[in-house]
Amino acid sequence: MSTTNATTLYEKLWQRHIVDDTPGETPLLYVDRHLIHEVTSPQAFANLKFHNRPVRRPDKTIATMDHNISTRSVAIDAAGEGAANQLRTLEKNCEDFGIKLFGMGHKNQGIVHVMGPELGITQPGQIIVCGDSHTATHGAVGALAFGIGTSEVEHVLATQTLRQTKAKTMKIEVRGQVAPGISAKDIILAIIGKTGSAGATGYVVEYCGDAITALSMEERMTICNMSIEFGAKAGLIAPDQTTFDYLQHKEYAPKLADWDAAVANWKTLKTDDEATFDAELVLEAKDIKAQVTWGTTPGQVTTIDAEVPSPDDFTEQVEKDSCIKALAYMGLEAGTKITDIEINKVFIGSCTNSRIEDLRAAASVVSEFAKQGKHVSDKVDAIVVPGSYRVREQAEQEGLAQIFTNAGFEWRLPGCSMCLGMNDDKLAEGDRCASTSNRNFEGRQGRGSRTHLVSPEMAAAAAIAGRFVDLTNFNQA
Amino acid sequence: MDKFSTHSGLVVPLDIANVDTDAIIPKQFLQKTERVGFGQHAFHDWRYLDGEGTQPNPDFILNAPQYQGASILLARENFGCGSSREHAPWALQEFGFKVIIAPSFADIFYANCINIGILPIKLANEEINELFEACNGNANSLTVDLLNNKVTHDNKCYTFSLDKFHQYCLENGVDSVGWTLKKLDAIETFETKLANWQ
């Protein structure tokens, strides 16, 4: 095989960013964009100040407020004193170090992984880091993007570089086309169901195949966003015309001659035909059905037409034990039909599913039910939290907000909200939620609460029916 | 960062796979702007029967009398998965853990441990099973020798591997930012090659 110089997209991105590769040291890579928010940055800035070190490239650092903010008010203290202290600390740090901040109510404010791409800050070929594990989202444009801890945030602020050990490469190919009504969320949950919650630990995953290239940019973001949920360091999709069309004319995208130069460069960002991966996985798109998680890791997932599994369905002892623990926490019995599970809360939002296309998809299901005179069940509280002010404004202009509020959903201000419940948007003990977010861990949305991860369409239908609905049998809802 | 050479201490066996960082330090405790004050909240939702943290859960292993003062955490696969929050290893460190032994760790959590001076040790599944058998229900101590990459328990010895630079940083308590700042020339050279749209 003549594979001498053939490389994967990940290897190309890696190679282009090596600043220093001294033998015996972990390679030092250049960071093109550093996104920061209020929760994982204060200790990093405090250490910089302690050592009297400047931020090396404030022009490559962009801050927003998202994790801790109220979705009912733009007041900085609306989500409590602790949150306000972190938000004010971020304001002060950005002011002290000359960093651009999209603060409360700013037109560019939003969840960091919604804000970056929609402004064109996120671009192909970059290394993008953020003190948040869902940074993998930005891999959708063909950037190497991954979450880091606060010590690494400090390192990037001070040096604009990061030490990284090289990951292994995994190719995940989704062949053919998905059935109508199957969303990007269903594709990624199906992938995680197949690999398990740690199936890609130590790997950078490249998604490819017809079902992936057919996706819009926002759908690709949903796919890459959840790469971390099966352990991947990052998720990548090679940039193509869909990517370039999405980015052109965005506020921070290159302009005029720079745009042409950038696109010419970005077109070289793809895996060579003869390159090999350390691992490969193939899924047939036509086999993917609507997904619902039943357990307490994203890998504990099944299809809408299935039943809650039993510990006996697993061969490994660790998986049996995890199933027993998950069923006890989730208050579910093995053999229960997924469509018989009743929910009392619905959350449509998060960096996974809060973009305009997600809201359109949810609203179209709500509209269909509205034609039958149906609205949000009396037993359900349902909230819709757009990912950014831009998304919120567009949704209002398109009439989506009205569709939601007419049907009984609450229409909130942007933020991370109930995905992690750092603000007052949290579930009570025993609540069961259909959520478009990314994690169903114990207590994730509130102590003792139960989360089922689904697509925006499935969450919208669940809000109305009060239980999960197989939308392929829409009229039985 | 403190230097790490050898450590002997009591082991507590946490026999749960896929322990995520939300479990290690729940979100309601992430609103601090300092690095301290997280240890008291480690594993909060598992350690306490009530949200306020006044009623210890007698069934949770870290509350068992024989494991009080443990400094080595024995864990199962995919330890530290989920959120990138460094508050999780901060909480474990402040709680008293200096070493975590597991068959596998989530990538970001692993890097966070190295960066703050906790030693994460990966051992094979069979070795982990042996250690769980030895430690379940019993107060057992281990000795970890970083310089020779060995874990010793009774007469048994397990070897682990570690990235050479990670080992150097842990052994010497390297200030990683200071280390990289010595390479400013290389960083500046790299930056001169960037196009203006980059």
Asked if B86 and B65 touch (Cβ cutoff 8 Å), the reply is no
Closest by Cα among A229, A29, A240 to A129: A29
Contact list in B for residue A151 (CB cut-off 8 A) is 86, 112, 115-116, 176
Is B67 inside any structural domain? Answer: yes
> Which of A241-255, B98-112, B137-151 bottoms out in mean pLDDT, i.e. has the lowest?
B137-151
CA-based Rg of chain B, rounded to a whole angstrom?
A: 19
Report the alpha-carbon distance of residue B136 to residue B76 in Å, rounded. Answer: 13
Q: Determine the 3-state secondary structure of B122 from DSSP.
A: strand
Say if B166 falls within a structural domain.
yes
* Complete DSSP assignment for A408-424: T-EE--SSSGGGTT-SS
CATH of the domain at B68: 3.20.19.10
Helix (H, G, I), strand (E, B) or coil at B159: strand
- Residue B133 domain-assigned? yes
Residue range B28-56: mean pLDDT, rounded: 96
**Where are the alpha helices (H) located in chain B, listed in sequence order?**
21-24, 44-47, 87-95, 107-116, 125-135, 164-172, 176-181, 184-192
CA distance A398 to chain B (A): 33
- Specify the higher pLDDT residue, A2 or B160: B160
Residue A109 has pLDDT above 70, yes or no: yes
Residues 354-413 of chain A whose Cβ lies under 8 A from any Cβ of chain B: none
Put simply, the answer to whether A442 touches B23 (Cβ < 8 Å) is yes
Helices assigned H by DSSP within A352-388: 356-371
Residues in chain A: 477
Establish if A85 touches chain B: CB-CB under 8 angstroms.
Answer: yes
- What are the tens digits of pLDDT across the range A207-222? 999 999 999 999 999 9
* Mean pLDDT of the region B48-65: 96
> Is it the case that residue B34 has pLDDT exceeding 60?
yes
d(CA A289, CA A159) in angstroms, rounded, equals 46
DSSP A330: H
Q: Is residue B1 part of a domain?
A: no
The answer to whether residue B149 sits within a structural domain is yes
Written as one string, the DSSP assignment of A188-239 is: HHHHHHHH-TTTTTTEEEEEESHHHHTS-HHHHHHHHHGGGGGT-SEEE---
Instruction: Tell me which amino acid residue A272 is.
Output: D
Q: How far apart are CA A270 and CA B74, in angstroms?
A: 42
Is residue A114 scored above 60 in pLDDT? Answer: yes
B198 lies in a domain? no
**A63 φ, ψ (degrees, to nearest 5):** -115, 150
Percentage, residues of chain B above pLDDT 90: 95
Report the share of chain A in percent with pLDDT over 90: 97
Chains A & B: contacts with CB separation below 8 Å:
178
Q: What is the mean pLDDT of chain A?
A: 96
Instruction: Report residue A473's pLDDT band, with 50, 70 and 90 as the boundaries.
Output: low
- For the four alpha carbons of B31, B34, B37 and B43, in that order, the dihedral sign comes to positive
Measured between beta carbons, which residues in chain A are less than 8 angstroms from residue B20? 297, 439, 441
Amino acid identity of residue A83, one-letter, is: A
Closest by alpha carbon to B186, among A30, A164, A153, A154? A30
What is the Cα Rg of chain A in Å? 22
User: Could you give the CA distance from residue A178 to residue A285 in angstroms, rounded to a whole number?
Assistant: 5
SS3 A304: coil
Report residue A237 as tokens.
């999709």
The candidate with the shortest Cα–Cα distance to A460, out of A377, A342, A348, A360, is A348
Distance from C-alpha of A246 to C-alpha of A138, rounded to nearest angstrom: 13
Lowest mean pLDDT among A168-172, B49-53, B96-100: B49-53
Once rounded to an integer, what is the mean pLDDT over residues A25-51?
98
Q: What is the ipTM of this complex?
A: 0.97
Distance CA A152, CA A362 (A): 37
Q: What is the Cα–Cα distance from A297 to A287, expressed in whole angstroms?
A: 22
Query: What domains lie within chain A, and their CATH numbers?
Result: 9-266 (3.30.499.10), 291-470 (3.30.499.10)
Q: Looking at beta carbons, which residues of chain A come within 8 Å of B190?
A: 19, 30
CA–CA dist A454, A442 (Å, integer): 17
- For residue B18, being part of any structural domain is answered with yes
CA angle A73, A75, A81 (to 5 degrees): 110
pLDDT of residue A188: 98
A419 a known binding residue? yes
Cα dihedral B189, B194, B196, B198, rounded to 10, equals: -130
The parent domain of residue B42 ranges over 6-192
Answer yes or no: do A201 and B107 touch at CB < 8 A.
yes
DSSP string of B126-158? HHHHHHHHHHTTS-EEEEEETTTTEEEETTEEE
Pairwise CA distance, residues A369 & A377, whole Å? 11
At A401, the amino acid letter reads: A
| Nearest-5° Cα angle at A220, A150 to A237 | 80
Question: Is B197 within the bounds of a domain?
Answer: no
What distance in Å separates the CA atoms of residue A106 and residue A121, rounded to the nearest whole number? 16
Helix axes A42-51, A81-97, angle to 10 degrees: 40
Cβ of residue A27 closer than 8 Å to a chain B Cβ: no
Out of A62-76, A94-108, B114-128, B129-143, least confident range: B129-143
Query: How many independent structural domains does chain B possess?
Result: 1
Task: State whether B17 and A318 contact (CB < 8 Å).
Answer: yes
Instruction: Tell me how far CA of residue B4 lies from CA of A168, B70, B121, B188, in angstroms.
Output: 29, 17, 13, 33
